[in-house]
Amino acid sequence: MDMIPKIPMAEWVDSATEWTTETFEFLFDFIKDDFGDFIDWFAEDVLMAIPPWAFILVVGVLAFLASGKRFGLAAFSIVGLWFIYNQELWGELMNTFTLVIFASLISVIIGVPFGIWMAKSRTMQTILTPVLDFMQTMPAFVYLIPAVAFFSIGMVPGVFASVIFATPPTVRFTNLGIRQVSGELIEASDAFGTTGMQKLFKVQLPMAKKTIMAGINQTVMLALSMVVIASMIGAKGLGQTVITGLQRADVGKGFVAGLGIVILAIIIDRFTQNLNTQKGENV
């Protein structure tokens, strides 16, 4: 029995990547240069310009208010951030925070509209569901390949890979939240003669808020989980310190940087969870 000829999948992907890179080189260069400069400016000239003690104090106050005026999250935030500063990793923390902010923000800006579109259209749900499945099951390291091909190395490809990896939860939870809105509420809004946009912004999105916020929480956590992976293609931050510790077998340095990532993850996770509750029940 003759063997079936090998499908030249790798060659097709190489050709498609090469064509995309050459065709949209002007766009990729613009994003890499201008957006990259903006990210560096935000991290170095905005966040780093804030005195660490002031940043820690503001985060502590915001955590206190977000948690329903309880001291648990505020105390942990202050002590955790002070520990990172004490370990001389403040600059790395600000770069990591910048990557998470931009990746999460872009993911939400993309994810919420697509989630709404899925909720409004069965055809779009049929099309996007396997795409989201693909995005969530593909190993995260694979996203580094097109990121480097399009944007070389640095913070921009790190943000790009993080966005691809982190967007699906926002899309799925937005779709789920809108679809779970009570049919009686929809009928009542229709009876009052609301337009489609009024029904969306005054009924469906407010009622789906908790579900959407749960998706955003997952998106932020996934973006943060890409920190170490993105550092492999030049993204600055705590992840880069972890990689350096691994390469040099410096267990202590890598562990401390990893602990910094854990502290940041807990603060962001608890903060976003409490924003989704009325009285900070999650603390």
* pLDDT (tens place) for every residue of the chain, 283 residues total: 456 777 888 888 888 888 888 888 888 888 888 888 899 899 888 999 999 999 999 999 998 888 878 888 899 999 999 999 999 999 999 999 999 999 999 999 999 999 999 998 899 999 999 999 998 888 888 888 888 888 888 889 999 999 999 999 999 999 999 999 888 888 888 788 888 788 888 888 889 999 999 999 999 999 988 888 888 888 888 988 998 888 888 889 899 999 999 999 999 988 888 877 754 444 3
- What is the pLDDT at residue 1? 46
CATH (domain of 42): 1.10.3720.10
Number of domains in the chain: 1
Distance between CA atoms of residues 89 and 97, nearest Å: 12
Distance between CA atoms of residues 45 and 59, nearest Å: 19
Distance between CA atoms of residues 183 and 220, nearest Å: 31
Distance between CA atoms of residues 62 and 271, nearest Å: 9
232 is a domain residue = yes
The structure's pTM equals 0.87
46 is a domain residue = yes
Q: What is the 3-state secondary structure (H, E, C) of the chain?
A: CCCCCCCCHHHHHHHHHHHHHHHCHHHHHHHHHHHHHHHHHHHHHHHCCCCHHHHHHHHHHHHHHHCCCCHHHHHHHHHHHHHHHHCCCHHHHHHHHHHHHHHHHHHHHHHHHHHHHHHHCHHHHHHHHHHHHHHHHCCHHHHHHHHHHHHCCCHHHHHHHHHHHHHHHHHHHHHHHHHCCCHHHHHHHHHCCCCHHHHHHHHHHHHCHHHHHHHHHHHHHHHHHCHHHHHHHCCCCHHHHHHHHHHCCCHHHHHHHHHHHHHHHHHHHHHHHHHCCCCCCCC
64 is a domain residue = yes
280 is a domain residue = no
283 is a domain residue = no
Alpha-carbon torsion (203, 183, 190, 174), positive or negative = positive
- What is the pLDDT at residue 153? 86
- What is the pLDDT at residue 283? 39
36 is a domain residue = yes
54 is a domain residue = yes
**Residue 82: domain span:** 9-275
- What is the pLDDT at residue 128? 92
Distance between CA atoms of residues 141 and 135, nearest Å: 12
3 is a domain residue = no
- The answer to whether residues 64 and 123 touch, using CB atoms and an 8 Å cutoff, is no
